[in-house]
Amino acid sequence: QKIVFVTGNSGKFHEIRAVLADFGIEVIQNKSDYPEIQADDLEPIAAESARAAANDLKIPVMVDDSGLFIQALNGFPGPYSRFVEDHLGNARVLKLMDGEQNRAAYFKTVIAFCKPGEEPLTFSGTVDGKISYDERGDGGFGFDPIFDYNGKTFGELGTEFKNMISHRRRALDQFLEYLKKSVE
């Protein structure tokens, strides 16, 4: 079985390729870029990206829309995570959290799968953690060096560990359930 994953983010691609390979699914990266709609949560963003990509490429595709939601910042950056990572970066996020006692945060991934002319399906996963006080570790990508999971950052824990417990892994487990049912 093969799945086309539309993404320009090689960190996501490598994580998803590794997980799905364990289930005998080959993931092919397609780097086409589609405009993203704005919304308060990731589900509609992922769904509409998948719909646009499937209809444009005329093949079934998956996309992954993810974000970091910080409780003390009322869920920011959330759907604006890409913009914040690109234009501010981890150091500035830590600055926003200066003097803040409540470090609670979660990562969320929404995977959307769509066939041409059909409605997109979405599968989501989250993982709880804390915003660290400094950047640690060079594993993973994006916000991983500032996301503390039980005392170590995702940057320190690395991709192999992330792939066992992450937001993305949990979303993939839901997607795998669907794939299993749809071939039965």
Contact footprint for ligand ITT (CB under 6 A): 7-9, 12, 64-67, 81-82, 85, 107, 140-144, 168
Nearer to ligand ITT, 81 or 132 (CB): 81
Closest distance between ligand ITT and the C-beta of residue 55, in Å? 17
Closest distance between ligand ITT and the C-beta of residue 181, in Å? 25
Binding residue numbers for Mg(2+) = 36, 65
User: Does residue 65 have an active-site annotation?
Assistant: yes
Binding residue numbers for substrate = 7-12, 66, 141-144, 162, 167-168
Render the chain in DSSP notation, one character per residue. -EEEEE-S-HHHHHHHHHHHHTTT-EEEEE----PPPP-SSHHHHHHHHHHHHHHHHTS-EEEEEEEEEEGGGTT-BGGGHHHHHHHT-HHHHHHHTTT-S--EEEEEEEEEEE-TTS--EEEEEEEEEEE-SS---SSSSTTGGGEEETTEEHHHHHHHHHHHHSHHHHHHHHHHHHHHHHH-
Nearer to ligand ITT, 12 or 170 (CB): 12
Q: Is the peptide bond before 116 cis (omega within 30 degrees of 0)?
A: no
Closest distance between ligand ITT and the C-beta of residue 127, in Å? 9
Closest distance between ligand ITT and the C-beta of residue 176, in Å? 18
Active-site option among 65, 98, 128, 138: 65
Strand pairing category for 26-30 and 61-70: unpaired
Nearer to ligand ITT, 108 or 119 (CB): 108
Catalytic residues: 65
